């Protein structure tokens, strides 16, 4: 059952992150990062989360003997940090406020706040961004859009 009927239930891409402790992950995502639980299946260790239109599914890895099924999507042994080689870029309305909350929580900041411009053909797209690790080591890159500008001339 949805906890907030006004939140859209469908997005074009919703990553599902396997986690080792759903309670710990839910506390981090909801209390520190400000995600809301759209719905959850506590018996399965599953939750659908939403924050400003971005969605993430959390799914606790459990042994088949606990759930009665083998629904693990792990292709290899799981070890910290999970999600190696990937970071999730998540847009936010107030990156400074979120960064302050993350710092206050003591979460692991992988990359401190920065202003970064990325070339896209003949323009640059600006982000004010930082990267934080979730309890299982997934990299979450929160950013606020700074707009675009012409590419700087090469010297």
pTM: 0.86
86-155: CATH topology is: 3.30.720
Span 122-155, pLDDT tens digits = 999 999 999 999 999 999 999 999 999 999 876 5
So what's the pLDDT on residue 8? 58
How crowded is residue 8: how many other Cβ atoms within 10 Å of its Cβ?
9
Beta-carbon count within 10 A of 30 CB: 15
Q: Residue 2: what pLDDT?
A: 42
CATH architecture of 1-64: Roll (3.10)
pLDDT for position 154: 67
Per-domain residue ranges of the chain: 1-64, 86-155
With 70 as the cut, is the pLDDT of residue 12 above it?
yes
Over residues 65-114, the pLDDT tens digits come to: 344 555 566 677 778 899 888 999 999 999 999 999 999 999 999 999 99
5 has a pLDDT exceeding 70: no
Name the residue among 81, 14, 85, 84 with its Cα closest to residue 51: 14
pLDDT at 65: 39
Render pLDDT for 22-56 as a digit per residue (tens, 0 to 9).
Answer: 999 999 999 999 999 999 999 999 999 999 999 99
CA distances from 102 to 21, 27, 32, 54, 106 (A): 19, 13, 6, 18, 7
The 3-class secondary structure across the chain, one letter per residue, is CCCCCCCCCCCCCCCEEEECCHHHHHHHHHHHCCCEEEEEEHHHCEEEEEECCEEEEEEECCCHHHHCCCCCCCCCCCCCCCCCCCEEEEECCCHHHHHHHHHHHCCCEEEEEEEEEEEECCEEEEEEEEEEECCCCCEEEEEEEEEEEECCCCC
């Amino acid at each position: 059952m949805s906890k907030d009927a006004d939140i859209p239930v469908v997005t074009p891409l919703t990553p599902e992150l396997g986690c080792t402790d759903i309670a710990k992950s839910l506390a981090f995502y909801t209390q520190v990062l400000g995600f809301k639980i759209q719905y959850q299946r506590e018996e399965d260790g599953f939750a659908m989360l939403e924050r400003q239109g971005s969605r993430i599914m959390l799914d606790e890895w459990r042994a088949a003997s606990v759930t009665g099924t083998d629904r693990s999507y792990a292709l290899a042994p799981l070890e910290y940090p999970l999600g190696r080689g990937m970071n999730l870029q998540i847009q936010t309305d107030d990156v400074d406020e979120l960064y302050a909350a993350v710092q206050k929580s003591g979460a692991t900041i992988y990359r401190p706040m920065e202003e970064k411009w990325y070339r896209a053909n003949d323009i640059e797209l600006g982000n004010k961004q930082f990267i934080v690790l979730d309890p299982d080591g997934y990299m979450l890159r929160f950013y606020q859009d700074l707009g675009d500008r012409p590419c700087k001339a090469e010297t």
